Amino acid sequence: MTATIARIATRPIRIPLLRAWGPDVRDLSVIEVAVEDSDGAVGWGFSWTPSIGAAAVRAHLDHDISDFARGREAEASALWDPLWTHLHEGGSGGITTIAMAGLDLALWDLAGRRAGRTLTDLVGRRHETATVYGSGVNLHYPLDELVSQAGRWVDAGFDAVKVKVGSPDLARDVERIAAVREVLGSDRGLMIDANQRWSLEQAERAIGELSVFDLAWVEEPLRADDLPAHVELRRRIEVPVALGENVHTRYRFAEFIDAGAVDLVQPNAVRVGGITPFLRIADLAAARGVGLAPHLLLELSAQLALALPGEHLVESVEDASFAALGALDAPSPVAVSGATVSTTGQPGLGIRFSDELTDAAASVSPTEDQ
């Protein structure tokens, strides 16, 4: 008989950051999801919300998702579509897909543990290594700290790096990117990320001035949900546009791609609803001839990149991987050496969080005793 989902339990986790991402972002929120099947096997996944939404995500998992999933086949691809259809009334993306990811990842982990295979091998390994680039949440850094960070990226062996822009004063961005380019030299790639801070007119002006620093891409120049503005901006500029960390469904990715608004998509495997939809978005990008670089979550993104056709850059945010933050209770499923990342052989996702990180301030989940 096919194993079914017998039990779903959640655990709130708060992970202190080594380097604050801003005045209000000093830790990360994770909802760990454990799924047990009717044979007694267990898999672990997680939902991830850097600053807000963790309580809402957990509530969605504990109630609507658990109520729907229990008794159904314990297989990620078989569950994802009917679950999304069931939840769609409450929203097609955002909290909905972030919460769905916790269960989807847990089911993939369960399948990998049952088979004794890494996530990469379970999906279908295509590469032994992938290229990583240095990244940082650094718009608030003073110039000397930013320059020091760029120097560390060079010393680490990265061939490409990404820096935040979007200061109220464009001259500050120009000064900072000029300083980073000087540290990098002319032979390393340089990307910028505006995190949706510009209007169309601001973006056109800023990119025009910053393009002299030989930019590989500009990321999230505009509000992520403003497709017409992205289409117009892409018409006005020469620098490639990257976006996707705040696009939540395959349908929205298709709209941006088909409108010619984006050169490289950056799906976040948690925000889009898990590994199942991430792979569909990767297939869509490949079919349309658009580049793809997974967003954040090094331990998960790297494993997925190794299972995709073609070459895909993987983001390595300084001091922000789960391993670097001391959040894991076992060796990391990936290892970075210089500018490359590889797997370490952990079965399933290989991502289990330390019991010491439980957020004691959160309420007990009603599903934990079911």
Helix axes 170-184, 200-210, angle to 10 degrees: 30
Q: For residue 124, give both structure tokens.
A: 């279908």
For the chain, what's the residue count?
370
Tell me, yes or no, if 162 is annotated catalytic.
no
Q: Please, what is the Cα angle at 41 between 38 and 44, to 5 degrees?
A: 115
Helix and strand numbers, DSSP H then E, in the chain: 12, 13
Cα Rg of the chain, angstroms: 20
Cα–Cα distance, 218 to 230 (Å, whole number): 12
Q: Which secondary structure element, helix H or strand E, spans residue 134, and what is its range?
A: strand 130-135
Q: For residue 17, give both structure tokens.
A: 């950051």
Tell me, yes or no, if 63 is annotated catalytic.
no
Per-residue burial over 49-88, b if 16 or more Cβ lie within 10 Å, else e, is bbeebbeebbbbbbebbbebbeeebbbbbebbeebbeebe
Choice among 60, 230, 248, 295 that is catalytic: 295
Cα–Cα distance, 282 to 267 (Å, whole number): 8
Choice among 162, 164, 230, 312 that is catalytic: 164
- 283: CB partners within 8 A, 6+ apart: none
Query: Which residues are identified as catalytic?
Result: 164, 295
